[in-house]
Structure 1
Amino acid sequence: MSSATQVTSTPSTAKPSRHGSPWRSLEFVLGAGLTGSMLLLVLFSVWIFPDRGAAMDLGARLTAPFTSWAHPLGADPLGRDVLARVLVGGRISLMVGFLSTLGAATLGITIGLIAGYYRGFWDMLLMRCVDIQLALPFILIALTFITILGGGLGNIIIFMIISQWVQFARLVRGMVLSVREREFVQAARSFGVRDLAMVRHHILPNVIGPVIILMTLNVANNILLESSLTFLGLGVDPLIPSWGGMLADGRTYMQNAWWVSVFPGVAIMLTVLGLNLLGDWLRDRLDPTGKL
């Protein structure tokens, strides 16, 4: 009887794991669904709309949404299909978001590892550069950079990398300062493990979790930033469809053709919402202090 009692009491003391199947998380399901759906639509937009949303039909200009099978989301003042331009324009916005974040993370991780691992002169020099850049107003950096080099897709990506690597550098540097003093790093150093192998195999894997979370959130932020700069006329070429450019084009038609601006704005909102939900899920998933 005592063994039976012990067996039946075991399940009551077990705690559910918050790190089980991701499909049980509402944040993951919604985030992955929104982000994945938008990525698929944007990636296949060139095959769905071979004209890339550039074909003009002046007879259908300012067609209201949901009134024509040829233009389900309506047409803009030049008769171009809004749905086609939203999906094709998403390629530019998502490209800027992902490439700029990847570049900023790569540069910031490298500088953070050097500053945190070697400390001393390199730490002081690199962190002072970080402090100087953080002290400069963002809009001043943007105006100066774009005034000197001009707009364009490549310059916008380079600008975002230069202006955002400091976030990753400070995060990685702070975590490396903690990890480098732990027992397994000291043990590896006592066995003569070289610096490069130490960083690759012992330090970087222990700091990459929060970096991935920051990257996820930065992609969403950079999509909004690209849209804002393009809306202000400081972004990509106006002839290239992008979500920010569509918002700028439709602002003068808000009273009688609201769909020209609203649907690109909805695309931005859904994409950013999905990425933020994935970032929140990753934060809970990778945070070691949140384990039960």
Structure 2
Amino acid sequence: MTDQTQTMKPQMGFRQKYHRFLKFEFIAGVLLTGTLGALVLFSPILFPEGGRTVDLLARLTPPFLTMEHPLGTDPLGRDILERVILGGRVSFTVGIFSAAGAVVLGTVIGLLAGYYRGLWDTLIMRFADIQLALPFILMAITVIAIVGPGIDRIIILMIVSQWVQYARLVRSSVLSLREREFVQAARSYGLRDRKIIFGHILPNALGPLIILLTLNVANNILLESSLTFLGLGADPQTPTWGGMLSEGRNYIQTAWWVTVFPGVTIMLTVLGLNLLGDWLRDELDPLGRTSR
């Protein structure tokens, strides 16, 4: 019995270890996000024309009628499938780089504010409260109206407006971690503050950060599409999901596919990222792991 028990333990551990990768959220999130991400990554090779080829003779061709235009064409005869895939480059670029920039800036500020506290902490948190009271869309319209539209400006604007979320999250984690035994032991060994902050505190605060980062990428894709729909995003000649929605809104009753397919693509992308965020939340939550 003892030998059988010892041989069964590794098997149960193996099953429990890989069972989390068989969850619906993980499989569906990886399939949706991975498929769209791969198509977007290889879109310059798949469509070297850049989605700007105009064919007025084929304008507003319905979907599923020809192999040449499986998802139909827009009012200028441009292929919808080609433009949907190429449009993902702008959305993924803005979503990923804006979230990455915000998490780096917010994490550094939150670490310093939570660890040193005092006047530095008070000033940062009061400034964060003021910034959280500003509506993003209103701030975006004002700034872009002054400096002009552009992908780089949207990314910088999102970084400036979203670092507060990460700073407040990291600060709350640091306030509890700085009093833990392993931090006190590191201080007693004479380690410098930089080593304690980035070597001991930060690794223990990464779980919530990764979850928020995943969800913010999806949120930023929606924000970019909204700004582009309003004409405040990329160059109108560049294929974007929000731009396609804006161009097709006048044809919603006669050519539904011009707006439906870009809208469905946005929905599936955000859904896949949110599912991955839910899976990460379950896996990185210690209470959730112990309850399963």
Q: Which residue does the alignment assign to 1:105?
A: 103
Q: Which residue does the alignment assign to 1:49?
A: 47
Distance 2:217 2:54 in 1: 32
**Is contact 2:52–2:237 with CA below 8 Å preserved after alignment?**
no
Distance 1:89 1:140 in 2: 25
Q: CA, structure 1 residues 143+31, in 2 after alignment: closer, same or farther (shift >3 Å)?
A: same
Q: CA, structure 1 residues 215+18, in 2 after alignment: closer, same or farther (shift >3 Å)?
A: farther
**Is contact 2:218–2:269 with CA below 8 Å preserved after alignment?**
yes
Match of 1:77 among 71, 75, 78: 75
The CA deviation at 1:16 is 10
Q: Please, what is the CA RMSD of the aligned residues?
A: 1.9
Match of 2:229 among 221, 231, 248: 231
Distance 1:139 1:40 in 2: 30
Match of 1:159 among 157, 169, 172: 157
Unaligned runs of 5+ in 2: none
1:169 partnered with 2:133: no
Q: Which residue does the alignment assign to 1:180?
A: 178
The CA deviation at 1:138 is 2.4
Q: Which residue does the alignment assign to 2:284?
A: 286
**Is contact 1:19–1:285 with CA below 8 Å preserved after alignment?**
no
The CA deviation at 1:94 is 0.6
Give deviations 1:85-110, integer Å, cap 9, x for gaps: 00001000110000000011111001
Distance 1:44 1:137 in 2: 36
TM-score, normalising length: structure 2: 0.93
TM-score, normalising length: structure 1: 0.93
Q: How does 1:240-259 map to 2 (within 5 A)?
A: 240-259=238-257
Secondary structure of 2:67 counterpart: coil
Q: Which residue does the alignment assign to 1:67?
A: 65
The CA deviation at 1:29 is 0.5
Whichever residue aligns with residue 248 of structure 1, its letter is S
Match of 1:139 among 137, 140, 163: 137
Give deviations 1:237-271, integer Å, cap 9, x for gaps: 21111100000000001111111111111111111
Whichever residue aligns with residue 245 of structure 2, its letter is L
Give deviations 1:112-168, integer Å, cap 9, x for gaps: 001001101110111111011012222331222112212111101111111111000
Distance 1:89 1:47 in 2: 14
Q: CA, structure 1 residues 170+19, in 2 after alignment: closer, same or farther (shift >3 Å)?
A: farther
**Is contact 1:18–1:291 with CA below 8 Å preserved after alignment?**
no
Q: How does 1:197-208 map to 2 (within 5 A)?
A: 197-208=195-206
**Is contact 2:88–2:240 with CA below 8 Å preserved after alignment?**
yes
Q: Which residue does the alignment assign to 2:90?
A: 92
The CA deviation at 1:7 is 5.6
Secondary structure of 2:205 counterpart: helix
Worse-matched range after superposition: 144-153 or 87-96 = 144-153
Distance 1:88 1:112 in 2: 36
Whichever residue aligns with residue 86 of structure 2, its letter is V
Q: Which residue does the alignment assign to 1:33?
A: 31
Q: CA, structure 1 residues 204+115, in 2 after alignment: closer, same or farther (shift >3 Å)?
A: same
Distance 1:163 1:207 in 2: 22
Secondary structure of 1:129 counterpart: helix
Secondary structure of 1:156 counterpart: helix
Distance 1:215 1:7 in 2: 42
Match of 1:24 among 16, 22, 26: 22
Worse-matched range after superposition: 229-238 or 103-112 = 229-238
